[in-house]
Amino acid sequence: MSYTTALHGGATDDILKSLHKQFTIDDQTLFKITTTFLSEISEGLSNYGRAMAMIPTFVKGVPDGSETGTFLALDLGGTNLRVCEVTLQGDQTFSLRQQKYKVSETLKTGEVTTLFDYLADSVDAFLTESSTPSKEPSSLIGSDPYAAVNQDTPYLPLALTFSFPVEQSALDSGVLLTWTKGFSAKNAVGKDVVKLLQDAFDRKHIHVKCVALVNDTVGALLSRAYTSGGCILGAIFGTGTNGAYVEEVSKITKLGDSAAAAAGGEMIVNTEWGAFNNSRSALPTTPYDNKVDRESINPRFQAFEKFISGMYLGEIARNVILSLIDAAPKPILFGGRSSDQLNKQWGLDTALLSEIEEAWEGLGQFSLAPGSVEVTEVEKLRRIQGVLAKRLELSPPDISLADADIVRQACTLIASRAARLSATAVAAILVHTGRARLWDQGEQSSAGLKDEGKRIGVGVDGSLVEFYPNFQTKLRASLRMLIGPEVESRVDIGMAKDGSGVGAALCALVAQRQSQAARTHGAYAYDHEETTIQVRTEVSYLSSLSS
């Protein structure tokens, strides 16, 4: 019997077994979820208005690393707002200068114009900073592309990375479908976000023009393609979760007989997989998930995201911990004591789960110097006791070694479920695009698959995939189970560092070429449909994936 097993007995043991049962998704269920994923993908490609929106982005190819230029990008994600200046060097490398700004709860939930005024002010502050003489020579003012633009147009072009579901009608316009990740700014849903931003710039006489709109997943895909030479899927596993992939336009049947459909070829589709299975017909839900959902600002929406992403894992863990503190007939944790931190909604950050797992695994700040003696389980649990006392403001004598072990097991269960579910999303895209087959009927051959024998590029970003101990290893293990070892071994999962900035820069480049072409052809005024056609023509510089 291991030391940790010996710590628990009777009622605790039963409760731990029950937690394991509730949070462990068996292989058969994982296959079923992937199959449901495949049908929701098809549904979304053929119909507008589906929860998993499968949004055509009007980005018609991926870069190959040879692109050049300096661009301004504004990135509104889940946690921060960033303004950056990105220089694409044309040799698969880039340099980036950025400034981060905090987005307060008041801004997230207030009037939308106040939020967009703040975005505009942040860009203004960044530009003012950039033009001070103390800044590096690469400052915006005087740098080549902006100077060129300034001679004949009185504005700086900027691309907006907006990490929320937006139904795009062109590269530079799209209406917000719904808020996610704790945002609920009023009077925004149904509005064109590019216009909201442009109006804010104009109100404040800031000479910046928003020329392109991009989701962070599209940014991840484009930036990974730029730095690695090829990528078919961009995915975010961070505060929220989502994926964008390269699709054949003929499969996006909801485009009907539009110009975009007639143009054919390939287009990046933003899946908005965070809203997969909102009906929860396939996702096995625990009472803890139900509570998180019920108390969220968008109950019954973003079901998949609520099982997976950094915004919610801490809150699920908090609910589990509280239920163990309150257990009857006897408390299971902390002698029945809680803390203000634990009692508060969102009081437990996913970063804490990560820290607990690092303490157990000896990773991050708990890594051992080479050659040191292995740490015993008791010492590992003592580290966890320390983390819990510090972060949850619990009194150290109230945290037993058994408590530390229970919390550790709960964190692992919650995060492992998230990693396994994440694999279903990746597997579904690979199967849908003809690059893999599901192994639910037993071993499958790879013969006849798209990209047979070739590397399959996947660009990822987000705090979970970057920092959470073993997240990627667990995701890969489930992916291997779902699609078999041969295809899985060819899947190159790589970080799309600064994807939101670099991806936005690449979209701004598309927009710039499009507007140059419009000027060359004397067509200054264009409506959205024409814009789309311009985009199609002008992105042909991007290498086609299939070539």
Would you tell me which residues interact with ligand BGC (CB under 6 A)?
77-78, 163-165, 180-181, 215-217, 236, 238, 240-242, 272, 274, 305
CB of 164 to ligand BGC, least distance (A): 5
Q: C-beta of 82: minimal distance to ligand BGC in Å?
A: 13
Give the pair of three-digit tokens for residue 475: 């995701």
Tally: H helices and E strands in the chain: 21, 13
Nearer to ligand BGC, 242 or 385 (CB): 242
For residues 446 and 489, what is the distance between their CA atoms, to the nearest angstrom?
12
For residue 303, the minimal CB distance to ligand BGC (Å) is 12
Q: How far apart are CA 92 and CA 66, in angstroms?
A: 6
Smaller CB separation from ligand BGC, 76 or 325: 76
CB of 2 to ligand BGC, least distance (A): 38
For the residues of 65-120, what is the DSSP string, one character each?
S--EEEEEEEEE-SSEEEEEEEEEESSS-EEEEEEEEE--HHHHHSBHHHHHHHHH
* C-beta closer to ligand BGC: residue 126 or 273: 273
Q: Which amino acid is at 164?
A: F
Dig out the tokens for 125 from the structure: 């502050």
Other Cβ atoms within 10 Å of 104 Cβ, number:
11
What own/partner pairs with CB < 8 Å and gap ≥ 24 does 530-537 have? Answer: 531/170, 531/171, 531/172, 531/173, 532/58, 532/169, 532/170, 532/171, 532/259, 532/260, 533/259, 533/263, 535/58, 535/59, 535/60, 535/170, 535/171, 535/510, 535/511, 536/60, 536/259, 536/260, 536/263, 536/265
The strand pair at 173-176 and 166-170 is best described as: antiparallel
Nearest approach in angstroms of CB 108 to ligand BGC is: 13
What residue is closest to ligand BGC based on CB?
240
Q: Which is nearer to ligand BGC, 61 or 499 (CB)?
A: 499
Structure tokens belonging to residue 327: 């257990």
How big is the chain, counted in residues? 547
**What torsion do the CA atoms of 258, 177, 58, 77 make, to the nearest 10 degrees?**
180
Work out how close the CB of 243 gets to ligand BGC at its nearest, in angstroms, rounded to a whole number. Answer: 8
In terms of CB distance, is 161 or 286 closer to ligand BGC? 161
How many CA atoms are closer than 13 Å to the CA of 540, on its beta-carbon side? 9
Cα 52 to Cα 244: distance, rounded to the nearest angstrom: 12
Q: What is the rounded distance in angstroms from the CA atom of residue 502 to the CA atom of residue 87?
A: 8
Q: How far does CA 181 lie from the centroid of its chain?
A: 11
Q: Toward ligand BGC, which CB reaches closer, 346 or 541?
A: 346
**Shortest distance (Å) from residue 217 CB to ligand BGC:** 5
Do the beta carbons of residue 479 and residue 491 sit within 8 Å? yes
In the complex with ligand BGC, the residue whose CB is nearer, 194 or 483, is 194
Q: How far is the CB of 327 from ligand BGC (least distance, A)?
A: 33
Q: Which is nearer to ligand BGC, 78 or 145 (CB)?
A: 78
Nearer to ligand BGC, 429 or 483 (CB): 429
Question: 388 or 423, CB closer to ligand BGC?
Answer: 423
Write down the least CB distance from residue 294 to ligand BGC, Å.
18
Q: From CA 218, how far away is CA 510, in angstroms rounded?
A: 14
Report the DSSP pairing between strands 68-76 and 156-162.
Answer: parallel
User: Least CB distance from residue 469 to ligand BGC, whole Å?
Assistant: 21
Identity of the residue, 7 or 313, whose beta carbon is nearer to ligand BGC in the bound complex: 313
Strand partners, 95: 87
CB of 329 to ligand BGC, least distance (A): 41
Q: Which helix (H) or strand (E) holds 124?
A: helix 112-130
Smallest separation (angstroms) from ligand BGC to the CB of 425: 12
CB nearer to ligand BGC: pick between 87 and 241: 241
